Amino acid sequence: MRPLPIPSDRPMFSKIKFLLLLLRLKCCLCTAVVQVVHTLPEGEGVAGVTSLADEVYVLRRKERDQVEVYDVINYRLQRRLTVPNIGGFVDMTSCEHYRCVYIADNVECIHRLNVQGAVTQLAVNDKPAGLSVNAAHNVLVTCRDVRKIKEFSSRGNLLCVLTLPDDVINPRHAIQTRKGEFIVCHGEVGDAVHRVCKISADGGGIIKSHGGQPGSGNGQYDWPFHLAVDNNEFVFVVDVGNHRVTLLSPTLDYIRQVVSPDDLKRLPMRLCLDIHRRRLYVTDDEVRGRVVVFSI
Name the CATH topology of 178-263.
Answer: Thrombin, subunit H (2.40.10)
Give me the pLDDT at residue 13, please.
45
Instruction: Please report, as a single letter, which amino acid is at residue 128.
Output: P
Question: What are the pLDDT digits (tens) for 94-114?
Answer: 999 999 999 999 999 999 999
Question: What are the pLDDT digits (tens) for 20-67?
Answer: 444 554 545 555 668 999 999 999 999 999 999 999 999 999 999 999
Give me the pLDDT at residue 30, please.
54
Question: What are the pLDDT digits (tens) for 264-292?
Answer: 999 999 999 999 999 999 999 988 999 99
DSSP states of the chain: -PPPPPPTTSHHHHHHHHHHHHHHHHHHHHHPPPEEEEEPPPEEPEEEEEEETTEEEEEESSSS--EEEEETTT--EEEEE--TT-----EEEEETTTTEEEEEETTTEEEEEETT--EEEEE-SS---EEEE-TTSPEEEEETTTTEEEEE-TT--EEEEEEPPTT--SEEEEEE-TTS-EEEEE--TT-S-EEEEEE-TTSS-EEEEEEES--SSTT--S-EEEEEE-TT--EEEEETTTTEEEEE-TT--EEEEEE-GGG-SSEEEEEEEETTTTEEEEEEESSEEEEEEEE-
pTM (two decimals): 0.89
Per-residue pLDDT averaged across 156-169, rounded? 97
Enumerate residues 6+ apart whose C-beta is below 8 A from 40: 56, 58, 68, 70, 75, 290, 291, 292, 293
Give me the pLDDT at residue 3, please.
44
Burial group, residue 206, by CB count within 10 angstroms (0-12, 13-18, 19+): middle
